[in-house]
Structure 1
């Protein structure tokens, strides 16, 4: 089971912490040095894809010179995002590496990225109150 704890800090901001002790600051779009909840969602999509694409491409003998991506979406309603677009920025060591990368990226997007698949399938979010 995956879980994070999100809590208000003494300074009035918010922090998410995982069981391994990693932390990320959360706040509004007007605050410096923090992620908004929407940015964290987009980072989760990108992170899930990239940490899966990297080892699978390298395992096939093609370590990419540069591997980055941009993940973006626009709000289509005040409290709802439209489609999420993942755009890779890669530098390929060879033409063959490009073919391998494309095949892997498509497979990861369609089958292996838990975050993207959960969003696409409309995973239920339940609320439990004390």
Structure 2
């Protein structure tokens, strides 16, 4: 089971901590130096895709010269995002690498990225108040 603890910090901000001790600070859109929860969701989509695409492309014999992406979504309602768009920024060593990269990126997005597939399939979020 994956889990994180989210808590208010002494300075009035918020922090998410995983079982391995890694932390990420979050807050509202006006808070400097922190992610908003929506930005963390977009980062999770991007991170899930990119950390899977890179090794799978390399495993097929193609080391990407540059690999980055932008993940964006507009709010379509005050509490709802519209479609999330992943835009890759890559530099490829060859046309063959381009074909492999495109095929891998499509498969990862459609099938292997837990975050993307969970969002696409509408994973239920439950509330448990003991």
TM-score bracket for this pair, using the shorter chain length: over 0.9
Deviation of 1:103 after TM superposition, in Å, equals 0.4
Q: Which residue of 2 aligns with 1:86?
A: 86
Deviation of 1:4 after TM superposition, in Å, equals 0.3
**TM-score scaled by structure 2?**
0.99
Alignment of 1:24-103 (within 5 A): 24-103=24-103
The runs of 5 or more residues in structure 1 that have no matched partner are: none
Q: Which residue of 2 aligns with 1:108?
A: 108
Q: Which residue of 1 aligns with 2:125?
A: 125
Q: Which residue of 2 aligns with 1:6?
A: 6
Deviations 1:4-47 (A, max 9, x none): 00000000000000001100001000011000000000000000
The runs of 5 or more residues in structure 2 that have no matched partner are: none
Report the count of equivalent residues.
130
Divergent runs of 4+, >6 A: none
**TM-score scaled by structure 1?**
0.99
Deviation of 1:124 after TM superposition, in Å, equals 0.1
Cα distance in 2 between the residues matched to 1:33 and 1:19: 23
Deviation of 1:74 after TM superposition, in Å, equals 0.3
Please report the RMSD computed on the Cα atoms of aligned residues, expressed in angstroms.
Answer: 0.4
